[in-house]
Structure 1
């Protein structure tokens, strides 16, 4: 029986292995001949490809990439992604700036072949073969082609007569054991191509300097470059003030004589070249550990020449560094080019890289090293960059950080964040960025396909988090074992297409242990790692430490002992689930720290420290800090900021904001602003406290909070009283999960606003009696908000419902009334040019129940076509003169409900309804050539309000228009009326001169610095 079971087991295992395709790799060998026309910015020529099918399948067609077509029109995947990520430069470009590939006439083995374009991707063609290509067979594919070179929108392009020829020729998609990998060109998202050879001939005016992939086979051109090297050396010998910034260096005329140059390359998957008549050239040589010599080159213009003077040394040093760390460089040269680039700071191709502008020699060294390093990670280890960006960008960034640490003493440039914010914090840039978005519920797995990334997460998931994870693994297994494993990965998979499982298999084989916690938990998924030290007790010569796993992955962890500020010892432990007790040797130290080196992507570190003595072993010391900063997880920080304020009733106010809000956000956050009013001689202020829940379900975030506010809102100088209000607003916000790649937010908000207002009491004869303890109103609201913040044609809508219980004796004869009101608000915009919109807003609101619909004066909770302080019955907004009838403060406008902009004060019921209203608001950005940088916009509003008051017309239409000056992105505005309906004009005349008609808005709720910061960091 045992024999039968074993036989069955091995038979099933064999069947399973056979069911999975074994590794194979296609080969494509290219011969290309092209001529550059630098007057019309075109490239014309022919291409011949020998495609060898090493797969077990017969192929009836090939996917062919025609990536210049990405720049053909605004319907391509490239254009759509650009708009989605907030870049409209290509979308609004002139047609003459765009590019494409044309003139294609494919043959396969000399037989004409047809092709079709994917309907939504004109840069992907399906080439039908004359007959199926059998396994092991080859087909010769030929076609003429012509490229209209676009302006520099991304990688392929030109700036004047400086050419960046990348992704420029027809190229087959990869076919591997997972099938076809056809992909449209993207700016945020790189490539996956078959290895092979290139034989490329380029004809162009003879005074162009060219840098390219491969070996330069043309002897005359090699001599030409050597002359350029001599000329450049002489130039720097006499140069006194090299240019550090950008220089608008003119292009010399093109030579009438053409030259033809030839390059060859083996074991590469791409070919790029760069041409500029202004290039200066420097050359060097680096000797690798084996004795192999590699030529190193740099080519650059006057822009940043001060930094490029020594740049060839950076190329040489980085080639040697990566060769020693990862594996020997296999190619004959490495070249760095300074040229125009619209896709990041640098871009890599086999043997050559292009670099944009930089700000210092150190930053140039860093970018060159990173891009040269890509010769290993994607150049030689040809992983799928589009689907697994962490395998090239992440691994390469890890070694770049090693390089920067060795030569500059730090892995990351801390200058990205102001020093006063980073002071007292141990967080680095990578940790801060990762924690910031992770705690917001906006993180994504490193293995997210590039086009599905939320733009900040592409940086984090591809560049920042992977080095953290690799450093974590290195610290755990040790430097020697880690390097040996990575070098084994390089050796086994060079010139191949490794997948994540291949990387994991090699590393596990070398290290002798499972690495699911690395690859599956921290790369392939977005599981949270969060350990906590929760308890300590002595047991003999050991400390027994209680460790709790609050996260979703159980990777190993380290505990370090410290004495004063010095590290004494560190021990590593296998990962745990839930809670466990571990032993740590006792010694002369006073603090135990989980992950002292900060190599783990541990989400919350404020629970990683334990004192070895004292009563409060987990207590964090309190520290006061001015303004703000990045989180210090070793102590509790209370930030403070003295602030003035003013309104008509409290007068000048002075106070201090106190808050724990830092970068990144916390679960529990609070901020209070107590103020003292020198006119009211009493306390005023605002406060907010909330707790952030991060459920792993339909919601991204659930926030439970309480907002409080107290100010004075009305004064009477005759009877010498000043009325105050107290406002309490408990709220519960549900933010839904949406596709992070799209700028869409959906939120459901439930709130209960409680307003307690003081009230003046008068006798029947009008004698002031005193102030009441206050009357209280309760408002319950349920609101659904949808926002799509795309930069082209953004839109949003809101629907809401409100009910209340009201205790306004002066308004309700019964002393108690309730209403139910509902509304909808729609916003849309037509984007006619970059950052130029025509905005349309529609609002409609009505009462489903209102016992006071016919009351006069119109009751406080009415709908309003024009929002002002006196009709802000929930006290949602801040007003300088909430109850004012005249003067500048009476002209403050709110932005809600009908959205009209006429300030008429509380003496009139114009535009107010206890029944229903509707309004349409229109505004437009003027063309830049008319206004320059002045944000002046025309506006026009039209509104309807229905009245049940017996002596007011039932149907009322109002309209007004003018010019508005927009400040701080619309958070503050000034309204200059030009035309108005008769009813509004009559009220304006009663107010006095034109200046009494000018309204203004200052939306202090949206000027909240914490909200502004979030808008900046979380677009």
Structure 2
């Protein structure tokens, strides 16, 4: 009997716990606010009834004071914008910033202490005088004053158009997981308690107001109806409704709005709004008004209809819209293309009717996903943005059957014809730069936030819909809506609801695709025939066991098509014996399968898993089911090969291929021989580690490198450079990347041997080892690039075959942004030789015939310094002429071209060198980034004792022109130190124009290298 009683109480306690595990606080507001449009200021009073529905006693309540995000340059919002290279706020004067002040909190008419977070002025704790017990309600009151900033994000004004959002003191959510107090962010949305709002707005009477809630004033309703009439007439007659910004009326009005069961309240006001109105019925006897408020009638004249259609679509496919109106507003929003609030959304313009309909639909859809299903947007952004993107795509497919992607459809025949909707998914996933959607919004790099949270989540849900079928999917989502409307669901609640309604495990979707960086990659391994039939063997190369569709073809017809449940490693399926033409996985390319190229099996072919080859021009994007080979015409030029005509032959560039290859054969019109490049690389990705990729590769090339005028000979070099590179991501949110690369250069130089009566062509072999670590950090206030490079070579000279050197280079570049779009660039470089057998020699060793230095480093860097042939020079060993004035900003980085003939006289050393390079943009519009002053400072320890210490330091300065988007730079010197001036004056036929140097930052023959070098920084 005692055991029975204990069991009863344990069961009853468990039942109580189950009933009380979910709770939800309630917040009911009464706010009165007045707009002063001369000071751009709000003066308000807030009354809040806060009900503690939790089982806990509360001694404090977290409050958001989000206007204070604009109060200093060190808030979380300010730091995030700077990180994202959006510097409008960072350089804003204090007069354009905002805050919330004049707070005086009282709880049940007794003054209470507000403790503002010392690091986050937009977060605070209200300390309660008396503990708030479960089930109790308290009344909180405070006045407040908001200085409205210009529009940097959401809250703001653009002239006299106001976006009043995140504007009043607001309690943080308290739930079973604790307090959710958060600073305001631009990327990263919100989480708020449900309740009722009663809001009175006092402002000049000629303002047109759009707001959350239902308007209560008959006079204001008539005012809006008259605006609708005037707007319609102006649109029909193609005339302007307003000639200029009207003066504010001296008469004021107070308008009242009521909103039930919402978690936020926003309003927008302008004296220049056009107004359009429509209505819809989502249930019998339930009429909903839809509104459009805008200043640009070109596309917005249909906005109220777009709102109507979106409300009808979401009501039919998700759940009934519960509120009396829905509104879209055009305003100067800076936080993305649109932002949602209950019953109202704000959008910052559009390029055409379809794009406006698309954005309005997405933002109206947020009334369901966050407005009604009040998930934590900050910590789980996929639950509103991603799910809503699925429905937005479904809406657009319903009403715009043929849509342009980000590239015109007519380009498909040139670009490989990959579905552009899948391109973002595969580009990021294959590069392993993607971030799983279910994580804190602040963790995402801005591009990932759009691709992973929005697009990829929508893509995954579309796949679930294809797997389940639309009927089953819609039923499950409608049940989720009805179960969790006006509540705070978490990912585990969404998963439990869908699984309960569908009756199956969805771990592959949640723990796999949404909550991990694991990938899916199915393949058909083989089809084995036996006496009882056939056996199809499938392989899962990934770690997510998602369902997959199998299609079997006989000739040009589908014989059958079935879904196979997900599996790990390998699955053997019984398969009927037929004369199959083709068996394929994911025929419609709707799965998140990473490499669809291994999804097709053709049993009747000699190589059943090999896709047919297809040629394409400009193969930027792959075409599944084909081995696409691109052939792209190329033209190149250098001073020795002259014009080179050829082609770039390669596999597709996008999405990222594990194995990448490109061949660039070119015919030299001067030497009448083939020249060009070969690039091979294989990438091995590592999931979830700072070391995210290992590259193995080989580069090969052959070009001419010098001309011997006395013998009318043009000499070539051949080069093989195998390498292995370890790639790191140190901080995804700011793209802090590192690379450790080991590379060996096998270089064969063609030289002339003069040992006989006549010169004959011979070859000299060079082997150079390089080990280099590079760190790159991107930030809006300046990027950092630092590297450490070890270079080793053993080589021969006359009478010695045991020469060697080991050189260590340290290079650090930093640019400092001092004004929007303007910066100061600094670079420090030092190099020394732990080992150099020629250290005591007064001679700088040369490779070939007075062509390349070896075992030395220089203040300036020209073609004759580029021993590894890694940089492009028009005249690699030119002794004079314009090509001898080409430099590159490596080693000492001096903008001086002292030439190969002077290599032993100035600037080069086989011992030690340090240099500083400074340049800056000018604070002038248009030309400030083109015309730039520069200064170079350096010290070198010369190889010759003939150079006195007074000449071991050097200085040069001048003006540089950066042209063609920084691909071409021309440097005009103004001042030189005496040693540089003497060097130039010693040249034959010296003139100022010979001191002008230029830099080219591109290679004219390599499209593949340009595209493959693109990184997210």
Bin for the TM-score computed over the shorter chain: over 0.9
What whole-Å deviation, never above 9, does each CA across 1:177-201 have from its counterpart, x for those lacking one? 0001111111111110000000000
Partner of 1:753: 745
Partner of 1:707: 699
Counterpart contact for 2:735–2:1016, Cα < 8 Å: no
| CA positional deviation for 1:300 | 1.2
Structure 1 window deviating more from structure 2 (248-257 vs 120-129): it is 248-257
What whole-Å deviation, never above 9, does each CA across 1:891-912 have from its counterpart, x for those lacking one? 0102211010111211112100
Partner of 2:840: 854
Is 1:770 the counterpart of 2:760? The answer is yes
Distance 2:938 2:910 in 1: 15
Distance 1:856 1:406 in 2: 79
- Cα pair distance change 1:883/1:9, threshold 3 Å: farther
Partner of 1:186: 185
SS in 1 for 2:952: strand
Distance 2:548 2:537 in 1: 13
- Cα pair distance change 1:217/1:889, threshold 3 Å: same
2:866 maps to which of 872, 879, 887: 872
- Cα pair distance change 1:575/1:13, threshold 3 Å: farther
Is 1:966 the counterpart of 2:962? The answer is yes
Q: What are the within-5 Å matches in structure 2 for residues 361-510 of structure 1?
A: 361-409=353-401, 413-416=404-407, 419-420=410-411, 425=416, 427-510=418-501
| CA positional deviation for 1:543 | 4.5
| CA positional deviation for 1:592 | 1.8
Partner of 1:1018: 1016
Counterpart contact for 2:705–2:716, Cα < 8 Å: yes
Distance 2:123 2:753 in 1: 78
Distance 1:140 1:5 in 2: 46
Partner of 1:93: 92
Partner of 1:60: 59
2:714 maps to which of 716, 722, 730: 722
What whole-Å deviation, never above 9, does each CA across 1:128-154 have from its counterpart, x for those lacking one? 111221111111111111111111111
SS in 1 for 2:432: coil
| CA positional deviation for 1:32 | 0.5
Partner of 1:277: 271
Structure 1 window deviating more from structure 2 (412-421 vs 792-801): it is 412-421
- Cα pair distance change 1:734/1:33, threshold 3 Å: same
Structure 1 window deviating more from structure 2 (996-1005 vs 963-972): it is 963-972
Partner of 1:136: 135
Partner of 2:921: 925
SS in 2 for 1:737: strand
| CA positional deviation for 1:219 | 1.1
| CA positional deviation for 1:546 | 1.3
Partner of 2:82: 83
| CA positional deviation for 1:104 | 0.9
Name the TM-score, length of structure 2 as normaliser: 0.95
Structure 1 window deviating more from structure 2 (1000-1009 vs 401-410): it is 1000-1009
Counterpart contact for 2:540–2:568, Cα < 8 Å: yes
Q: What are the within-5 Å matches in structure 2 for residues 685-834 of structure 1?
A: 685-696=676-687, 697-763=689-755, 767-772=757-762, 774-807=763-796, 809-810=797-798, 813-834=799-820
SS in 2 for 1:846: strand
- Cα pair distance change 1:948/1:236, threshold 3 Å: closer
Distance 2:966 2:90 in 1: 24
Counterpart contact for 1:900–1:941, Cα < 8 Å: yes
SS in 1 for 2:200: strand
| CA positional deviation for 1:576 | 1.2
Partner of 1:522: 513
Is 1:997 the counterpart of 2:991? The answer is no
| CA positional deviation for 1:413 | 4.6
1:257 maps to which of 251, 255, 269: 251
- Cα pair distance change 1:340/1:642, threshold 3 Å: same
Distance 1:20 1:759 in 2: 88
SS in 2 for 1:907: helix
Distance 1:399 1:881 in 2: 58
Counterpart contact for 1:34–1:201, Cα < 8 Å: yes
Distance 1:419 1:739 in 2: 39
SS in 2 for 1:657: strand
5+ residue gaps in structure 2? 846-852
Structure 1 window deviating more from structure 2 (669-678 vs 447-456): it is 669-678
| CA positional deviation for 1:568 | 4.6
SS in 1 for 2:643: strand
Partner of 2:158: 159
SS in 2 for 1:686: strand
| CA positional deviation for 1:956 | 0.6
- Cα pair distance change 1:829/1:162, threshold 3 Å: same
Distance 1:475 1:6 in 2: 51
Partner of 1:207: 206
Distance 2:871 2:16 in 1: 67
2:662 maps to which of 660, 671, 675: 671
5+ residue gaps in structure 1? none
Distance 1:704 1:162 in 2: 57
Counterpart contact for 1:446–1:526, Cα < 8 Å: no
| CA positional deviation for 1:793 | 2.9
Distance 2:535 2:587 in 1: 18
Partner of 1:512: 503
Counterpart contact for 1:544–1:584, Cα < 8 Å: yes
Counterpart contact for 2:703–2:718, Cα < 8 Å: yes
- Cα pair distance change 1:1010/1:195, threshold 3 Å: farther
Partner of 2:848: none
SS in 2 for 1:753: strand
Name the TM-score, length of structure 1 as normaliser: 0.95
Counterpart contact for 2:512–2:518, Cα < 8 Å: yes
Partner of 1:107: 106
Partner of 2:881: 887
Counterpart contact for 2:580–2:602, Cα < 8 Å: no
Counterpart contact for 1:422–1:630, Cα < 8 Å: no
Distance 2:243 2:858 in 1: 60
Distance 1:1016 1:835 in 2: 21
Distance 2:155 2:954 in 1: 55
Partner of 1:633: 624
2:944 maps to which of 934, 939, 949: 949
Distance 1:193 1:13 in 2: 32
Partner of 2:292: 298
What whole-Å deviation, never above 9, does each CA across 1:815-848 have from its counterpart, x for those lacking one? 2311111121122232210121111111110111
Aligned alpha-carbon RMSD (Å) = 2.5
Counterpart contact for 1:854–1:950, Cα < 8 Å: no
SS in 2 for 1:896: coil
| CA positional deviation for 1:425 | 4.6
Counterpart contact for 2:646–2:664, Cα < 8 Å: yes
| CA positional deviation for 1:997 | 0.9
| CA positional deviation for 1:15 | 6.5
- Cα pair distance change 1:626/1:284, threshold 3 Å: same
Counterpart contact for 2:635–2:1004, Cα < 8 Å: no
Counterpart contact for 2:548–2:586, Cα < 8 Å: yes
| CA positional deviation for 1:229 | 1.3
Distance 1:481 1:217 in 2: 41
2:980 maps to which of 973, 980, 984: 984
Partner of 1:341: 333
- Cα pair distance change 1:234/1:567, threshold 3 Å: farther
Counterpart contact for 2:414–2:616, Cα < 8 Å: no
SS in 1 for 2:90: coil
Counterpart contact for 1:430–1:460, Cα < 8 Å: no
What whole-Å deviation, never above 9, does each CA across 1:311-348 have from its counterpart, x for those lacking one? 21111111111111111110001111112111111111
Q: What are the within-5 Å matches in structure 2 for residues 37-56 of structure 1?
A: 37-56=36-55
| CA positional deviation for 1:661 | 3.5
Counterpart contact for 1:421–1:629, Cα < 8 Å: no
1:620 maps to which of 579, 586, 611: 611
SS in 2 for 1:190: coil
Partner of 2:828: 842
